[in-house]
Amino acid sequence: MNIRANHAPTAELQALDAAHHLHPFSDSRNLAKRGVRVITGADGVWLTDSDGVDMIDAMSGLWCVNIGHGRRELADAAHAQMLQLSYYNTFFMTSHPAVIELSAKLAELAPGTLNHTFFASGGSEANDTNIRLVRHYWAAKGKPEKQVIISRKNGYHGSTVGGGSLGGMAAMHKQGGLPIPGIVHIDQPDWWSEGGDMSSEEFGLARARQLEAKIDELGEDKVAAFIAEPVQGAGGVIVPPETYWPEVRRICAERDILFIADEVITGFGRTGRMFGVETYELAPDIITIAKGLSSGYAPIGGSVVTDEVAETLADAGDFNHGYTYSGHPVACAVALENLRIMTEEKIVEEAAADAMPYLAEKWGQLVDHPLVGEAKIKGFMASIALTPDKAARAKFASPEGTVGLRCRDRCFSNGLVMRHVKDRMIIAPPLVINREEIDTLIERAVKSLDETHAALEADGMMVSA
């Protein structure tokens, strides 16, 4: 039962929201004019808004509700932990059972020798940890000049000063003095937008080799690490060409730098294995985790490092870093219960065996729609590129994102939360979505695409840039 079922009327909530709530990544005047959508409840893959309208949550909240909404066991775990030990810190030589058990569970789940976790409240904080950690690691090895971190344009690593600097989002770099020094960006493996005349395979190799060229240009003795998402999420679900990761893996093995795989979205089942690095057979030194770690039921993230990284840090004495909520007991208890459910109910294995290939087949068929250029999918991360001319891989003449936003609005009206990134439409449904719900999702997506296409035709907007 939703404890806020008796909320104020929608218009009143919208007015208060506009008056007092500052939203992330939002144009507040525009939002106030349109009025926010107020979400009041959720169950499984379904959301309910303040007008009682049901929608499919095809974004798992914000890529996080992997086990689906409304699992009572997680609420019970939080309740029990709050009564037992609502808060204690992990500084000053103390610990508590929830953080100890969660650390051990993560060591069991993460591949290779990724056996040691430094906790944070989310992915941005964890990536801030990583910046300090990799530089401290090299200093501990007697190579303090290895400072530079290589990242990718259109990658997303969070919104703090560190996370936003690691990320390669041009719109973010325009505000607040980002990026900080010591972070450089190479190009992303987005064949649809940037592949030109190359085949996707050639392009994947070329983009991977930019890493090699950048390390050599800067000097291997200056580079601390390379950070990347196995599949870019916020950048528009950019599934790299098959040639990309094997080549990056070769380069990382040949050069003496650390590899940080940002698994904030790809972790905990989203690509069909527990971690994206398993899907792509990568061997990272550090993985960033958050979101699916607790299925979004509590804010928690972390950096999981290998034995070798942990040993090197241990040899260097104090690591002067930490957050009040590093290893928060309630968040840890919720994450533990989430991982218990995920493993005992074989949620990842079952999705990979049935719902993921089912969605892949249906999603792939969207490429036949007149508005869709390419359809990409890896596990439960999927995107379609909207285009006025498929053969030319053309962009629209209208400002980038105009068409995507129109399509997103159609989706919302049709009871489907599908996001847009510029003129790409993206989904990342909960791992527990079933075939019937996938059918509904696809029906609503097609209806929304049809309506968008008809409206663009009517407005003379099916025009290439």
Q: Where does this chain bind ligand PXG (CB under 6 A)?
A: 62, 122-124, 127, 156-158, 163, 229, 233-234, 262, 264-265, 288, 290, 301
Shortest Å distance, C-beta 458 to ligand PXG: 30
Element (H, E) at 377: strand 372-378
Q: What token pair was written down for 160?
A: 């703090």
Shortest Å distance, C-beta 131 to ligand PXG: 12
Q: By CB neighbour count within 10 A (0-12 exposed, 13-18 middle, 19+ buried), where does 318 fall?
A: exposed
Q: For 96-102, which contacts have Cβ atoms below 8 Å and span 24 or more sequence positions?
A: 96/327, 96/329, 96/332, 98/327, 98/329, 98/330, 98/332, 98/333, 98/336, 99/327, 99/329, 99/332, 101/332, 101/336, 102/327, 102/332, 102/335, 102/336, 102/339
Shortest Å distance, C-beta 215 to ligand PXG: 22
Shortest Å distance, C-beta 265 to ligand PXG: 4
Closer CB to ligand PXG, 13 or 62, in the complex: 62
Q: What is the DSSP string of 234-284?
A: TTT-BPPPTTHHHHHHHHHHHTT-EEEEE-TTTTTTTTSSSSHHHHTT---
Q: What is the DSSP string of 224-247?
A: EEEEE-SSBSTTT-BPPPTTHHHH
Element (H, E) at 133: helix 123-140
Contact between 266 and 60 under an 8 Å Cβ cutoff? The reply is: no
116/103 Cα distance (integer angstroms): 7
Closer CB to ligand PXG, 303 or 452, in the complex: 303
291/267 Cα distance (integer angstroms): 8
Q: What token pair was written down for 240?
A: 């790299």
156-166: string of b/e by CB count within 10 Å (b at 16+)? bbbbbbbbbbb
Q: Give the three-class secondary structure for 45.
A: coil
Shortest Å distance, C-beta 64 to ligand PXG: 8
Closer CB to ligand PXG, 126 or 223, in the complex: 126
Best CA proximity match to 232, nearest among 278, 168, 290, 289: 168
Shortest Å distance, C-beta 47 to ligand PXG: 17
Closer CB to ligand PXG, 231 or 456, in the complex: 231
Shortest Å distance, C-beta 389 to ligand PXG: 27
Tell me the sheet residues that pair with 384: 375, 425
Using CB atoms, what's the residue nearest to ligand PXG? 123
Closer CB to ligand PXG, 14 or 266, in the complex: 266
Shortest Å distance, C-beta 464 to ligand PXG: 27
Closer CB to ligand PXG, 288 or 383, in the complex: 288
Closer CB to ligand PXG, 117 or 456, in the complex: 117
Largest CA distance in the chain: 67
Tell me the sheet residues that pair with 419: 426
278/282 Cα distance (integer angstroms): 6
Shortest Å distance, C-beta 68 to ligand PXG: 19
Closer CB to ligand PXG, 228 or 348, in the complex: 228
Number of other CB atoms surrounding residue 444 within 10 Å: 21
Contact between 379 and 356 under an 8 Å Cβ cutoff? The reply is: yes
Task: Please list, in sequence order, all residues whose beta carbon lies within 8 angstroms of the beta carbon of residue 417, skipping any fewer than 6 positions away.
Answer: 47, 55, 56, 57, 58, 59, 411
Q: What token pair was written down for 80?
A: 């029990």
Shortest Å distance, C-beta 242 to ligand PXG: 21
Closer CB to ligand PXG, 156 or 191, in the complex: 156
Shortest Å distance, C-beta 335 to ligand PXG: 13
Shortest Å distance, C-beta 441 to ligand PXG: 18
Closer CB to ligand PXG, 264 or 403, in the complex: 264
77/337 Cα distance (integer angstroms): 7
Closer CB to ligand PXG, 282 or 456, in the complex: 282
Closer CB to ligand PXG, 155 or 329, in the complex: 155
